[in-house]
Amino acid sequence: MTSLGVPEIEAGWALFLDLDGTLLDIAPTPDAVQVPPGLVPTLAAVAQRLDGAMAIVTGRPRETVDGLLAPLAPAGGFGHGAVLRDAAGRIGGAEAMPAPPQDWAERLHASIAAWPGVILERKPHGLALHFRAVPERQQAARAALEALLAGHGEDFVLLPAHMAYEIRPRAASKGRAVEALMRTDPFSGRMPVFVGDDVTDEEGMEAARRMGGFGLHVGRDFRRGPEEVRAWLARAAARLPQGGQHAHA
Protein backbone atom coordinates (compact mmCIF):
# COMPACT_ATOMS: atom_id res chain seq x y z
CA MET A 1 0.00 0.00 0.00
CA THR A 2 1.09 3.59 -0.52
CA SER A 3 1.28 5.98 2.41
CA LEU A 4 -2.27 7.17 1.70
CA GLY A 5 -3.71 3.69 1.37
CA VAL A 6 -3.71 3.39 -2.43
CA PRO A 7 -3.02 -0.26 -3.27
CA GLU A 8 0.11 -1.02 -5.24
CA ILE A 9 -0.45 -2.28 -8.78
CA GLU A 10 -0.95 -6.04 -8.99
CA ALA A 11 -0.06 -8.37 -11.83
CA GLY A 12 -3.69 -9.41 -12.37
CA TRP A 13 -5.03 -5.92 -12.96
CA ALA A 14 -6.29 -4.36 -16.17
CA LEU A 15 -5.13 -0.77 -15.78
CA PHE A 16 -6.98 2.16 -17.39
CA LEU A 17 -5.27 5.55 -17.16
CA ASP A 18 -6.52 9.02 -17.97
CA LEU A 19 -3.89 11.34 -19.51
CA ASP A 20 -4.21 15.07 -18.66
CA GLY A 21 -4.29 15.68 -14.94
CA THR A 22 -3.49 12.03 -14.24
CA LEU A 23 -0.28 11.14 -16.06
CA LEU A 24 0.51 14.66 -17.27
CA ASP A 25 0.39 17.87 -15.28
CA ILE A 26 -2.32 20.28 -16.39
CA ALA A 27 -0.89 22.99 -18.66
CA PRO A 28 -2.15 26.49 -19.50
CA THR A 29 -3.23 25.27 -22.97
CA PRO A 30 -3.77 21.80 -24.45
CA ASP A 31 -0.72 22.17 -26.70
CA ALA A 32 1.55 23.18 -23.84
CA VAL A 33 1.53 19.88 -21.94
CA GLN A 34 4.92 18.35 -21.19
CA VAL A 35 5.65 14.62 -21.07
CA PRO A 36 8.03 14.14 -18.15
CA PRO A 37 11.28 12.29 -18.86
CA GLY A 38 10.91 8.64 -18.03
CA LEU A 39 7.12 8.47 -18.29
CA VAL A 40 6.98 6.67 -21.64
CA PRO A 41 9.53 3.98 -20.64
CA THR A 42 7.65 3.54 -17.36
CA LEU A 43 4.33 3.08 -19.17
CA ALA A 44 5.94 0.60 -21.57
CA ALA A 45 7.35 -1.39 -18.66
CA VAL A 46 4.04 -1.44 -16.77
CA ALA A 47 2.19 -2.56 -19.91
CA GLN A 48 4.71 -5.35 -20.42
CA ARG A 49 4.36 -6.50 -16.83
CA LEU A 50 0.58 -6.55 -17.20
CA ASP A 51 0.84 -8.63 -20.39
CA GLY A 52 -0.39 -5.60 -22.36
CA ALA A 53 -3.47 -4.97 -20.18
CA MET A 54 -2.89 -1.23 -19.84
CA ALA A 55 -4.90 1.39 -21.69
CA ILE A 56 -4.93 5.18 -21.99
CA VAL A 57 -8.52 6.47 -21.80
CA THR A 58 -8.69 10.17 -22.56
CA GLY A 59 -10.62 12.94 -24.21
CA ARG A 60 -7.65 13.55 -26.48
CA PRO A 61 -7.67 12.29 -30.10
CA ARG A 62 -5.69 9.13 -30.80
CA GLU A 63 -3.23 10.94 -33.05
CA THR A 64 -2.43 13.45 -30.32
CA VAL A 65 -1.88 10.72 -27.73
CA ASP A 66 0.40 8.79 -30.07
CA GLY A 67 2.42 11.94 -30.69
CA LEU A 68 2.80 12.61 -26.97
CA LEU A 69 3.68 9.03 -26.02
CA ALA A 70 5.71 7.98 -29.06
CA PRO A 71 7.01 5.40 -29.72
CA LEU A 72 4.42 3.82 -27.42
CA ALA A 73 1.03 3.16 -29.05
CA PRO A 74 -1.00 1.69 -26.19
CA ALA A 75 -4.47 0.28 -26.19
CA GLY A 76 -7.02 2.89 -25.29
CA GLY A 77 -10.18 4.87 -25.67
CA PHE A 78 -9.73 8.25 -27.35
CA GLY A 79 -12.09 11.17 -27.71
CA HIS A 80 -13.83 9.99 -24.50
CA GLY A 81 -14.17 6.49 -25.93
CA ALA A 82 -15.40 7.51 -29.37
CA VAL A 83 -12.39 5.71 -30.89
CA LEU A 84 -11.04 2.47 -29.45
CA ARG A 85 -7.75 0.64 -29.97
CA ASP A 86 -7.16 -2.83 -28.58
CA ALA A 87 -3.85 -4.29 -27.46
CA ALA A 88 -3.28 -5.75 -30.93
CA GLY A 89 -3.52 -2.29 -32.46
CA ARG A 90 -6.94 -2.74 -34.07
CA ILE A 91 -8.90 0.51 -34.23
CA GLY A 92 -12.69 0.72 -34.17
CA GLY A 93 -15.72 2.32 -32.62
CA ALA A 94 -15.67 5.58 -34.55
CA GLU A 95 -18.05 4.41 -37.25
CA ALA A 96 -20.93 4.62 -34.75
CA MET A 97 -20.07 8.14 -33.63
CA PRO A 98 -21.41 11.36 -35.16
CA ALA A 99 -19.02 14.19 -36.00
CA PRO A 100 -19.99 17.76 -35.05
CA PRO A 101 -21.59 19.73 -37.90
CA GLN A 102 -19.00 21.68 -39.85
CA ASP A 103 -20.48 25.05 -39.01
CA TRP A 104 -20.12 24.54 -35.27
CA ALA A 105 -16.41 25.32 -35.27
CA GLU A 106 -17.02 28.33 -37.51
CA ARG A 107 -19.67 29.64 -35.14
CA LEU A 108 -17.37 29.18 -32.15
CA HIS A 109 -14.51 30.95 -33.93
CA ALA A 110 -16.82 33.92 -34.43
CA SER A 111 -17.82 33.90 -30.77
CA ILE A 112 -14.35 33.67 -29.27
CA ALA A 113 -12.94 36.35 -31.55
CA ALA A 114 -14.25 38.78 -28.93
CA TRP A 115 -12.88 36.67 -26.03
CA PRO A 116 -9.06 36.82 -26.03
CA GLY A 117 -7.66 33.93 -24.01
CA VAL A 118 -10.46 31.47 -24.80
CA ILE A 119 -9.09 28.58 -26.86
CA LEU A 120 -11.07 26.39 -29.24
CA GLU A 121 -9.90 22.78 -29.44
CA ARG A 122 -11.23 20.80 -32.39
CA LYS A 123 -11.46 17.01 -32.14
CA PRO A 124 -12.64 14.37 -34.64
CA HIS A 125 -15.84 13.84 -32.65
CA GLY A 126 -16.10 16.93 -30.51
CA LEU A 127 -15.21 20.50 -29.66
CA ALA A 128 -13.90 22.12 -26.49
CA LEU A 129 -13.60 25.68 -25.25
CA HIS A 130 -10.79 26.30 -22.73
CA PHE A 131 -11.00 29.37 -20.50
CA ARG A 132 -8.12 28.72 -18.05
CA ALA A 133 -6.48 32.05 -18.90
CA VAL A 134 -9.76 33.97 -18.57
CA PRO A 135 -11.94 32.25 -15.95
CA GLU A 136 -14.40 35.13 -16.14
CA ARG A 137 -15.44 33.71 -19.53
CA GLN A 138 -16.69 30.43 -18.03
CA GLN A 139 -20.38 31.15 -18.39
CA ALA A 140 -19.95 32.65 -21.86
CA ALA A 141 -18.10 29.53 -23.02
CA ARG A 142 -20.80 27.28 -21.64
CA ALA A 143 -23.56 29.34 -23.24
CA ALA A 144 -21.83 29.25 -26.65
CA LEU A 145 -21.67 25.46 -26.59
CA GLU A 146 -25.21 25.10 -25.27
CA ALA A 147 -26.43 27.20 -28.20
CA LEU A 148 -24.86 24.69 -30.60
CA LEU A 149 -26.56 21.77 -28.87
CA ALA A 150 -30.06 23.14 -29.39
CA GLY A 151 -31.86 20.47 -31.40
CA HIS A 152 -28.91 18.07 -31.22
CA GLY A 153 -29.33 16.76 -27.69
CA GLU A 154 -29.98 13.21 -28.84
CA ASP A 155 -26.56 12.98 -30.48
CA PHE A 156 -24.27 15.20 -28.39
CA VAL A 157 -23.82 16.17 -24.75
CA LEU A 158 -22.06 19.02 -22.92
CA LEU A 159 -19.32 18.07 -20.43
CA PRO A 160 -17.48 20.11 -17.79
CA ALA A 161 -13.70 19.68 -17.77
CA HIS A 162 -10.66 21.35 -16.20
CA MET A 163 -11.35 25.03 -16.87
CA ALA A 164 -13.15 24.03 -20.05
CA TYR A 165 -16.43 22.82 -21.48
CA GLU A 166 -16.63 20.19 -24.17
CA ILE A 167 -19.15 18.67 -26.57
CA ARG A 168 -18.88 14.94 -27.22
CA PRO A 169 -21.13 12.30 -28.81
CA ARG A 170 -23.70 11.10 -26.29
CA ALA A 171 -22.85 7.48 -27.11
CA ALA A 172 -19.17 7.99 -26.25
CA SER A 173 -17.89 7.62 -22.71
CA LYS A 174 -14.86 6.41 -20.85
CA GLY A 175 -17.07 3.71 -19.38
CA ARG A 176 -17.77 2.48 -22.91
CA ALA A 177 -14.04 2.19 -23.50
CA VAL A 178 -13.52 0.16 -20.33
CA GLU A 179 -16.40 -2.18 -21.14
CA ALA A 180 -15.27 -2.71 -24.74
CA LEU A 181 -11.63 -3.35 -23.91
CA MET A 182 -12.52 -5.71 -21.06
CA ARG A 183 -14.10 -7.97 -23.68
CA THR A 184 -10.76 -8.32 -25.47
CA ASP A 185 -7.44 -9.99 -24.73
CA PRO A 186 -5.40 -9.42 -22.63
CA PHE A 187 -7.88 -7.41 -20.52
CA SER A 188 -10.52 -10.13 -20.26
CA GLY A 189 -10.55 -11.97 -16.94
CA ARG A 190 -8.58 -9.33 -15.08
CA MET A 191 -9.66 -6.84 -12.43
CA PRO A 192 -10.26 -3.41 -14.02
CA VAL A 193 -8.78 -0.40 -12.23
CA PHE A 194 -9.45 3.10 -13.59
CA VAL A 195 -7.32 6.08 -12.57
CA GLY A 196 -8.51 9.60 -13.41
CA ASP A 197 -9.06 13.09 -12.14
CA ASP A 198 -12.02 14.60 -13.96
CA VAL A 199 -15.81 14.38 -14.12
CA THR A 200 -15.69 12.19 -17.24
CA ASP A 201 -13.34 9.78 -15.49
CA GLU A 202 -16.09 8.94 -13.01
CA GLU A 203 -17.81 7.01 -15.82
CA GLY A 204 -14.70 4.90 -16.27
CA MET A 205 -14.45 4.30 -12.54
CA GLU A 206 -18.10 3.26 -12.38
CA ALA A 207 -17.60 0.81 -15.25
CA ALA A 208 -14.59 -0.66 -13.44
CA ARG A 209 -16.67 -1.10 -10.29
CA ARG A 210 -19.50 -2.79 -12.20
CA MET A 211 -16.97 -5.27 -13.57
CA GLY A 212 -15.49 -6.19 -10.20
CA GLY A 213 -12.74 -3.58 -9.95
CA PHE A 214 -12.46 -0.05 -8.63
CA GLY A 215 -11.44 3.51 -9.40
CA LEU A 216 -8.73 5.77 -8.02
CA HIS A 217 -9.11 9.54 -8.11
CA VAL A 218 -6.25 11.98 -8.53
CA GLY A 219 -6.78 14.57 -5.82
CA ARG A 220 -8.69 12.31 -3.46
CA ASP A 221 -6.45 9.23 -3.55
CA PHE A 222 -3.27 10.66 -5.09
CA ARG A 223 -2.99 13.88 -3.10
CA ARG A 224 0.18 15.07 -4.85
CA GLY A 225 -1.43 14.77 -8.27
CA PRO A 226 0.17 13.35 -11.40
CA GLU A 227 3.61 13.30 -9.79
CA GLU A 228 2.36 10.73 -7.29
CA VAL A 229 0.66 8.69 -10.03
CA ARG A 230 3.91 8.58 -11.99
CA ALA A 231 5.82 7.43 -8.90
CA TRP A 232 3.20 4.72 -8.30
CA LEU A 233 3.64 3.47 -11.86
CA ALA A 234 7.43 3.58 -11.56
CA ARG A 235 7.27 1.38 -8.46
CA ALA A 236 5.17 -1.15 -10.37
CA ALA A 237 7.60 -1.12 -13.28
CA ALA A 238 10.42 -1.93 -10.87
CA ARG A 239 8.55 -4.40 -8.66
CA LEU A 240 6.26 -6.53 -10.82
CA PRO A 241 7.61 -9.65 -12.50
CA GLN A 242 8.07 -9.75 -16.25
CA GLY A 243 4.80 -10.30 -18.17
CA GLY A 244 3.44 -13.79 -18.55
CA GLN A 245 4.46 -14.96 -15.07
CA HIS A 246 1.12 -14.79 -13.31
CA ALA A 247 -2.37 -16.21 -13.39
CA HIS A 248 -5.19 -13.77 -14.21
CA ALA A 249 -7.39 -12.64 -11.36
Residues forming the active site: 18
Q: What share of the chain is helix, strand, coil (3-state, %, to 5)?
A: 35, 20, 45
Cα(129)–Cα(134) distance, rounded to whole angstroms? 11
126, amino acid identity:
G
Residue 54's DSSP bridge partners are: 15
163 exposure class (CB count in 10 Å sphere: 0-12, 13-18, 19+): middle
230 exposure class (CB count in 10 Å sphere: 0-12, 13-18, 19+): buried
157, containing H or E segment: strand 156-161
CA-nearest of 175, 177, 187 to 47 is 187
Cα(231)–Cα(227) distance, rounded to whole angstroms? 6
For residue 144, give the 3-state DSSP assignment. helix
77, amino acid identity:
G
**Sheet with 126-130, edge to edge strand ranges:** 119-123, 126-130, 164-169, 156-161
